[in-house]
Structure 1
Amino acid sequence: MTQAEGRGYLLTEQVNLNSRNLDQLSSLELVELFNREDQQAIAAVEKAKHDLATAIDRTAKALHHGGHLFYVGAGTSGRLGVLDAAECPPTFCTSPDLVQGIIAGGAGALVRSSEDLEDKAEDGYNAIAQRHITQLDVVVGITAGGTTPYVHGALQAARERGATTIFIACVPKEQVRAEVDVDIRLLVGPEILAGSTRLKAGTATKLALNILSTGVMVQLGKVYGNRMVDVAVTNSKLRDRAIRILHDLTGLDRAAAATLLERSGNWVKLALLMHWTGVTREEGNELLGQYSSNLRAAVSSYKYR
């Protein structure tokens, strides 16, 4: 039996009966079929909500105590992890090393196929060792079919180092076991194009990662209400967003909001604290430091002085 034949039992490798005539569909019929099938990605995430919530809580706690979040994957799964990690600094003004994506084959695998590298468990193991991961960190292994040796090697190394381990796969637990702290299964069913997990499985994984990273950042105080108060002001679009946030939350006109932003050193969170409490930039920095950079907590503490 070949390796491919050995994995034919996996949910992600089975044939979708709804798309048996895929090559005979019109473009409109094709779009309609995709739309119907993609609803399963949303449903799969909803069914995994409790495990996702646990992952958020454990990850936020780890990062609050000085840990880091690492996504590990190969192929599409690896690219999705790298993408989510890359979006954290501009969205939440985090250090580039707080959330990191590790993909089999390194940076080159982001733009060209390197699926053969996913079969090397030792490479995944070594990737964790090279980053000196400790018990403070969180390692999320992402593999649609659940069997990727690279990911399992990484998770083994993470467990040995005492890190919190999270597994995200699109196959049932009875098909692929994983010794991890949080086991998230996104059961989207067979793909429209049999075995092409960049489709529903990829969509569900992206949704789950969106929820995980955003949920963690909310718990870390990177958000006020539903605003990006830690947005990195690094270009004209993000500067405009920062000014709009200040305008909306303070009632200042755009010119005054822009001036306030400059006085704060282009930090929306600090600008709001300065405006609402009257503290100086230096005093605001100190106050935010006392409350782990949580704006709501800092403002509340000042009101009751």
Structure 2
Amino acid sequence: MIDSTAPPLDELADSWSGIHEDYDDLHNDVYDRTVLDCAARLSADPGGESALAWTIGLLLTAPYVAWGEDDDVAPHVKAVLEAADRTLRDRPCDHDDHPYHEHDAEYDLDLAEFPYQLADESADWDEDHSREQWLCPRNVAGFARIALDIVDPGSVTGVPPRLPLMDRRGIDTLSAILHGYPEPGTDVGEEISSVASGLRIAGPEDRPGRLLIVMAVTWYAVSDFVDDASLLDELVSALEEALPHFAGASCTHGAHVQPPGSGPAAVETGIMLTSPGGRALYEQGRREGRDAPLEHLLCPAALTEIAEESLSVLRARRDELRRGAGQ
């Protein structure tokens, strides 16, 4: 399955897996060479027998590429993946489905084993899908689109939804702050300021999620953990600018299922609502009777209530801090 000029399969798998787990190592020359070599091999023969292996390599290394997308590697990888998808996605096949249809982010690392398993036709095979389904050009195209969705979230359709890499990191960072144990090196004030600016610049589709993030952070911001009135002022200003977007809002829901009450849970929900993939994941994992329907979370009337309540407590705490400082 792998051409004779490539390193052994086990070395490739270890290399790709290592990059996947160490994705936030910026501008690593060794990683760059590995990724670009993988891209070059896929580009040279996107319809060849080795195409699935190189596509899996690019999928596993995609988080690293996405994290450092300000360099020259990301545009090149995107172009190669797009070309592979165009070449393969409409190839004829007789399969009802393919493995990529049910591939979720939590199973990314498991993919490292498949090039080796597929290359050894004498090895036992106990996967739900046949070898032919794995090697099918349409399956390769599907995994190429998944890799593209990691590098450039929301740029493709027809693949299982996943949360953008930066959103996953945002959930971890803010949840740690709201639990009272910020990750080492976290600038709490900067993170709160970023939450405010996120709402301020939000567009119509991600504004509801950004508002829920502000709501989640509000209860931390008005606690004794924060004594900088200027940070509260940023949150207040962001909410004041957001409210006119919901002016005159009404709905026919009668009553709304409330969003998560705890800060970390609300942060996760809010961040999920800021991207198409996150919204799809929320709806996919929603527990009937326990989690608010997506239409309730996106309802302008409900969002107005959330904004006004958060605004009230933030103003009160800001004014209290100002009085204490003699301002």
Give the structure with the larger strand fraction: 1
Q: Which has the larger radius of gyration?
A: 2
Give the structure with the larger helix fraction: 2
Q: Greater relative contact order: 1 or 2 (C-alpha under 8 angstroms, separation 6 or more)? A: 1
**Same fold at TM > 0.5:** no
